[in-house]
Amino acid sequence: MSLACGVDVGGTKILGGVVDEDGTVVEELRVESPATDVEAIEDAITDLVRTLRTRHEISAVGVGAAGYIDKDRARVLFAPNIAWRDVDLKAELEERVDLPFVIENDANAAAWGEFRYGAAHDIDDLLMLTIGTGVGGGLVLDGELYRGAFGVGAEIGHLRLVPNGRLCGCGNLGCLEQYASGSALVRDARERARDGDPAARPVLELAGGDPELITGPMVHEAARAGDPFARDRFAEIGTWLGEAIASLAAVVDPAVTVLGGGVSEAGDLLLDPVRRAFGEQLTGRGYRPALEIRRATLGNRAGLIGAADLARR
């Protein structure tokens, strides 16, 4: 059975794995992502692939990169949260490792993974949103991964929703990911705790009384325990996501939207407000079929599984 390697490069971690033709991860490795150092990122990817190659016969490598990838699946044109600027990542990695590489946007790779082996395996039209450090997007239309004329389509996290809003890593103001990402969840909780909001006390206690030590898992823990403040933080980002999905449904009309990424692990704490906001904002609601909103089933492996499958193809 043919084995391919998938590597998912994000702002906080690099996850790599060997994947078989059934989408099963045979072995997996994780390292921290040195997001501000291009050479260090390439070193980390190279070391990871070489390590896996010593134990498995790998035919190709797919890299899901958090950035704008060109039409040839070779160059990272721009990455909002990683220090890539017009880097021929394919050529540089192939020079280091004697294997064919395919470079793809990380959310596109995750969308393909969920389409092939996960939550959307039963449909042909998929909208994927990955909610992590930022907000990524991917589209599968008529069974094909949609990449756009220049390879940089479906950058949903950079829909500009708030005029003169928060500054985004892409350089614009008011992008969706500034309001609906894991980073936004943590930032909002810290700001409210810093401002002395008494409702933030349970989350602040989890951080030892220091607002700057509040993390996403802490907010999640408090929300699961029923804390209203923490639940409201998920409801807020869920509302942003639901409204964005309603607008996108008016354009591409997918059958299913899949929510993945680390924040989606909150389950119904996130999905319920997403579905509610979507239902309230969908154009023509009540007179048209409504898409189904599902949670990703491949977890944080979706990107590496999708990248490996794309490389094998």
CATH 3.30.420.40 placement within the chain: 3-113+301-312, 123-296
Question: Which sign, positive or negative, has the C-alpha torsion 306, 308, 310, 312?
Answer: negative
**179 residue type, one letter:** Y
Tell me which residues of the chain have a pLDDT lower than 70. 1
Q: DSSP labels for 201-213?
A: HHHHHHTTT-GGG
Q: Which pLDDT score, from 0 to 100, does residue 46 have?
A: 95
**Angle formed by the axes of helices 216-224 and 228-252, to 10°?**
110
N- to C-terminal Cα distance for the chain? 14
43's tokens: 């070193």
Q: Three-state DSSP class for 26?
A: strand
Q: Which pLDDT score, from 0 to 100, does residue 34 have?
A: 82
134 close to 108: Cβ distance less than 8 angstroms: no
Phi, psi of 289 (to 5 degrees): -65, 140
Q: Three-state DSSP class for 17?
A: strand
Q: Which pLDDT score, from 0 to 100, does residue 303 have?
A: 93
Phi, psi of 8 (to 5 degrees): -110, 110
pTM of the prediction? 0.92
What's the CA gap between 132 and 174, in Å, rounded?
17
What's the CA gap between 259 and 119, in Å, rounded?
9
Q: Three-state DSSP class for 224?
A: helix
244's tokens: 């964005």
**Region at 98 (left for phi over 0; alpha for psi -120 to 50; beta for the rest):** beta
**18 residue type, one letter:** V
What's the CA gap between 209 and 119, in Å, rounded?
39
Q: Which pLDDT score, from 0 to 100, does residue 69 have?
A: 95
CA-to-CA separations, 284 to 27, 141, 165, 279, in angstroms, rounded: 46, 22, 28, 10
Q: Which pLDDT score, from 0 to 100, does residue 36 have?
A: 80
69's tokens: 């990838």
8's tokens: 């998912």
**Residue 5: beta bridge partners?**
18, 61
292 close to 164: Cβ distance less than 8 angstroms: no
Question: Which sign, positive or negative, has the C-alpha torsion 116, 118, 122, 127?
Answer: negative
CATH topology of domain 3-113+301-312: Nucleotidyltransferase; domain 5 (3.30.420)
Q: Which pLDDT score, from 0 to 100, does residue 1 have?
A: 64
What's the CA gap between 100 and 77, in Å, rounded?
20
What's the CA gap between 48 and 26, in Å, rounded?
14
Q: Three-state DSSP class for 131?
A: strand
Instruction: Name the CATH code of domain 123-296 (choices 3.30.56.10, 3.90.1570.10, 3.30.420.40, 3.90.1150.10).
Output: 3.30.420.40
What's the CA gap between 60 and 300, in Å, rounded?
21
